[in-house]
Amino acid sequence: MKVKPKRSGDTDYVVVSELPDEQRNEFYQWLEGQTSPVVEHEEPKLCAYYWDYERWYRYWSGESLVEPLWD
């Protein structure tokens, strides 16, 4: 199940600890080396930009056959 984004200012993000169990560890490992948004009232290393999550999710769910590489 794809999670909906949270919003802070003009930044859409997800909180990694709130992802479904089957996604959390794989997404967290994929995030290594990615930048994270700084969101007031959230731990920075536990947040991810929603566009990163969407890109990873499309590959993880089989919607895309292209592995999501870093920009």
Q: Which residue range(s) make up the domain with 45?
A: 6-60
CA separation for the pair 40, 21 (Å, rounded):
25
0.85 exceeded by the pTM?
no
How many domains, in total, are found in the chain?
1
Q: Residues with Cβ < 8 Å from 65, sequence gap 6 or more?
A: 59
CA separation for the pair 29, 48 (Å, rounded):
12
Backbone angles phi, psi at 15, to 5 degrees: -100, 115
Domain membership of residue 26 (yes or no) is yes
pLDDT in tens, 13-59: 999 999 999 999 999 999 888 888 989 888 766 899 999 999 999 98
Domain membership of residue 15 (yes or no) is yes
Domain membership of residue 53 (yes or no) is yes
Domain membership of residue 65 (yes or no) is no
Tell me the residue type at 40.
Answer: E
